[in-house]
Structure 1
Amino acid sequence: MNKFKYYFILLLAGIAIVSCNKSDDDDVVTVPLRDYKEQYKADNDSIVNYLKTNYMTVIHAPGTPQDLDVVIKKIVPGDGNVSIWDQKEYPLQTRKVYSNDVNYEVYFLSLREGTGSKPMNTDRIVASYSGNFLNGKVFDSSYGNAETFNLFAYSPEGGVIEGWSEIFPQFKTGTSTTATGTGVITYDNYGAGVMFLPSGLGYYAGTVGSDGPAYSCLVFSFKLFDLQRMDNEYTISSSTGGVVILGDGVPDYLEDVNGDGYLYDFRNTTKYPNPPKELIDDTDGDGVADFVDFDDDGDGFTTRFEITKPTNEIGIVKVGDVYINYGTGFYYPWDAREDNPGTPNTNEFEPRGIPRKPTGANGTFVPEDYTAEGRLRIHLDKTYPIKKN
């Protein structure tokens, strides 16, 4: 779905982006970028009016691809339909979003939360959607098909529009079944909703589709089927100049220091000149959020180095007269984990998680260092390892 890739440079506050139009005398007219705060006021008024003058029908067809599809139509005076704003079956919700120095309040509806896991705003998701303008015109749709999207709106690889990365984490994935022989995947119990996005969290001054005007507010109905956890630390290739996602061994969702389900790269001070402190996930305070920081605690040792197992503690190892399964993973998981019965060809069993600083005699690790609740893990403890002169 190329339409939702940021194939153009995202508009930045304070930087004038211009479009050229020809007047009758063929003079070029420069159109400056609108003020984000003023545009949001106009957008919010338009969205509220839309919510108060349109009604919604939700299709309930369990077991079919049409289940929880949404039809939105204009209210005709006297038709007895209740507006989206006033209906009570799916109470209107809001999410506060800070972007381009604007404090947005985004409206959305939850038709079903889902039963699985919530994605982070930097994960990849499998979803279907339909998008329309406030005039009701549908400008794009996946036609019920499941497609994969990168929720990290500002990933150097490209991602979805910002509104998607803010609303999808409010929902959970569902369950899936793969048909024997055909391999066709069907989903159930998935999250489903509708989001109403101001232009600042959409394409802003960019056009939408082939003929969508700039500064368009957007409405999306959607279904969240599945997710892929990401580990987004990246570098730029010195040979090609391209982006190389390396990761640091800790998935993004485990680098959510404040536990709010969202991660932001606040190094873009033009877009985020005054980020709220409660949104910052930066262990060492170096201005680089943990999910894009190769050294989370700033001690000079990379996270990947600090959580790498000793070479003699990988897989099944004989310790004295006893065999211990240290796990198949090369890096410690966040916490100890059991084998997943759904993957019979892989043994995910791991009796230990990322340890804290060793508390045993002569700086040795003891079993509790790997399992104790609330432990400060070594890659977040800048006093470990001890630097040698």
Structure 2
Amino acid sequence: MNKFKYYFVLLLAGIAIASCSKKDDDDTVVTPLRDYQEQYNADNDSIVKFLKTNYIENVTADFDVKISKIPAGGTQTSIWDQQTYKLLSRDVYSDAITYKVYYLVLREGSGQSPTNTDKISAAYSCYFLDNALVDSSYGLPFTANLFPYANANTVVEGWSEIFPKFKTGTSTTGNDGVITYADYGAGVMFLPSGMGYYSGRGSIPAYTPLYFTFKLFDLQRMDNEYTSTSSGRIFAGDGVPDYLEDLNGDGYLYDFRNTTKYPNPPKELIDDTDGDGIADFVDFDDDGDGFTTRFEITKPTNQVGWGTLNSQPFYFGVSLYYPWEPMVDNPATPNVDETEPRGIPRRPTGDLTNPADPVESANNPRKYTEEDYTATPRKRIHLDNSYPIKIK
């Protein structure tokens, strides 16, 4: 276990878009970025060589890890060949190429996995491939946004790709305010420069592969729909957290509107219900029916808190929108009742409002049945462009 004070350190800043050199006193020459594929090939060679010529010297009980170079004539088992900790890789489509990103699982963790758009609480140390320390959070947890378009505390792309492969742990807060974390995920990620600081940052030269040791303590689910204004992005959300808009359930969501970075995205990575080119997690109208998602999942005013259902007292829940699935109260929060007996409904299947009129219409919709809120599976109304019925 580790103990930490409950405060956070700001994360590293974003990536510079180009490197510059002075030609003379009057002209500044912008150096074009290197070809991503060629640089990745070189970086990958360096990383594979590192994995085959270095070994895990020590992993502490708190999952602090030390990696060292195998000396000449040494008999240590390389990271590449050792079997104690899983060396895995993930293929990442970005910059119009596919990266292979290697990572070590020291411990998976026991809690939930973030998506690549959530906010995390983590700790890290960053190293060059000669094992020289570049930067570290000194074991202190800090918050970071994995979503690259967040307004603050964003991380290098490699973090967004590898952290979802791990899980959070548990935490307890003592009377002295000290938070104790246990069973958290811990690992090492080996990043080609395209997944890190491609054009350099501070003491990190351009085109430098790096590795990070890290621990994942906690996460915050995000709802990242945003609008762009002259003063920046305004995040309003649509009422459905990102992880529930991950249609293929792979833990990753991408905004493929950047066609320079993503000119030909694999179909299996696209989470876009209405096919309008805007992924559901950044789309205010997921099914493209002209009604916003938030409007479609907002409860009627007489179905918030205590009310009456079938002439009996009924607790509809405190949320102004339906959850994905019905929820029970969390006993760990005694001052809040999270009970939500109904999930986002499907198109109603009950009797017509006016049985004398046999035609379902905007003026004569069907009534909701209890199964419309709870049936599994069900196509929820914010993903069903046939409802609400439009007035013709």
1:242 aligns with 2:245: no
Measure the CA separation in 1 of the matches of 2:254 and 2:13: 18
Which residue number corresponds to residue 63 of structure 2?
68
Distance in 2 (CA, whole Å) between partners of 1:285 and 1:28 is: 43
Kept after mapping to 2: 8 A contact 1:265/1:288: yes
1:214 aligns with 2:206: yes
- Map of 1:204 onto structure 2: 198
One-letter amino acid matched to 1:296: D
Name the SS for the 1:329 alignment partner: coil
* Aligned equivalent of 2:137: 142
* Alpha-carbon distance between aligned partners in 1 of 2:308 and 2:333, rounded to the nearest angstrom: 25
Taking the aligned partners of 1:360 and 1:212, their CA distance within structure 2 comes to 63
Amino acid paired to 1:230: M
Match of 1:193 in 2: 187
Query: Which residue of 1 is the match for residue 301 of structure 2?
Result: 311
The structure 1 residue matched to 2:388, chosen from 379, 385, 388, is 385
| 1:5 matched to 2:13 | yes
Q: Contact 1:19–1:32 (CA<8 Å) still a contact in 2?
A: no
Aligned to 2:113: 118
After superposition, the CA RMSD in angstroms is 1.7
SS at match of 1:200: helix
Query: Following the alignment from structure 2 to structure 1, what is the Cα–Cα distance between the partners of residues 239 and 181?
Result: 30
What is the Cα deviation at residue 206 of structure 1?
A: 2.3
Unaligned runs of 5+ in 1: 12-16, 62-66
**1:155 offset after TM fit, Å?**
3.1
Partner deviation per Cα, 1:35-74 (whole Å, 9 max, x = no partner): 000000000000011111111133332xxxxx11010111
TM value normalised by structure 2: 0.91
Q: How far apart are the structure 2 equivalents of 1:31 and 1:309?
A: 55
Q: Find the partner of 1:287 among 277, 291, 295.
A: 277
Q: Structure 1: how far apart are the matches of 2:282 and 2:252? A: 13
Give CA-to-partner distance per residue, 1:218-258, whole Å, 9 cap, x none: 10000000000000001134xx6222110000000000011
What is the SS of the residue equivalent to 1:44? Answer: helix
Q: How do residues 10-29 of structure 1 correspond to structure 2 at under 5 angstroms?
A: 11=17, 17-22=18-23
Residues of 1 paired with 2:36 and 2:138: CA distance? 32
Answer whether contact 1:128 1:142 (CA < 8 A) is retained: yes
Taking structure 1 as the reference length, what is the TM-score of the superposition? 0.92
1:141-187, CA deviations, whole angstroms, 9 ceiling, x for partnerless residues?
A: 0111111110112335561100000000000000001102x121110
Query: In structure 2, how many angstroms separate the alpha carbons of the residues matched to 1:120 and 1:86?
Result: 30
SS in 1 for 2:39: helix
1 or 2 for the larger relative contact order (CA 8 Å, sep ≥6)? 2
- Aligned residue number for residue 14 of structure 1: none
From 349, 367, 371, the equivalent of 1:368 is: 371
Contact 2:11-2:154 within 8 A present in 1 as well: no
Q: 2:147 is matched with which residue: 134, 147, 152?
A: 152
Name 1:41's counterpart in structure 2: 41
Q: Is the 8 A contact 2:226 2:236 kept in 1?
A: yes
Q: Secondary structure at the match of 1:42?
A: helix
Q: Does 1:339 align with 2:329?
A: yes
**What is the CA distance between 1:137 and its match in structure 2?**
1.4
Q: Which amino acid aligns with 2:279?
A: A
SS of the equivalent of 1:236 reads strand
Residue identity matched to 2:391: K
2:261 maps to 271
- 1:251 alignment counterpart: 241
Cα distance change, pair 336–307 in 1 and its aligned pair in 2 (3 A)? same
Out of 172, 179, 191, the residue aligned to residue 177 of structure 1 is: 172
User: In 2 relative to 1, CA 365–190 (structure 1 residues): closer, same or farther, beyond 3 Å?
Assistant: same
Shift of 1:78: 2.5
SS at match of 1:221: strand
Task: Structure 2: give runs of 5+ residues left out of the alignment.
Answer: 1-8, 353-365
Shift of 1:200: 0.3
* Partner Cα distance (2:107, 2:74) in 1: 27
Aligned position for 2:161: 166
Residue in structure 1 matched with residue 252 of structure 2 by the alignment: 262
| Alignment partners' CA distance in 1, 2:147 and 2:167 | 17
- For each residue in 1:300-343, what CA deviation from the matched residue of structure 2 results, as whole angstroms up to 9, or x when unmatched? 00000000000000001134642100011111000001100000
Structure 1 counterpart of 2:363: none
Amino acid at match of 1:198: P
Q: Confirm or deny: 8 A CA contact 2:245 2:280 kept in the other structure.
A: yes
Q: Aligned pairs, how many?
A: 371
Given that residues 11 and 143 in structure 2 are in contact (C-alpha distance below 8 angstroms), is that contact kept between their aligned partners in structure 1?
no
Deviation readout 1:115-150 (Å, 9 max, x if unpaired): 000000000000000000112111110111111110
Q: What SS does structure 1 have at the residue aligned with 2:90?
A: strand
Alignment deviations for residues 172-217 of structure 1 (CA, whole Å, 9 cap, x no partner): 000001102x12111000000000000001010122x3x2211110
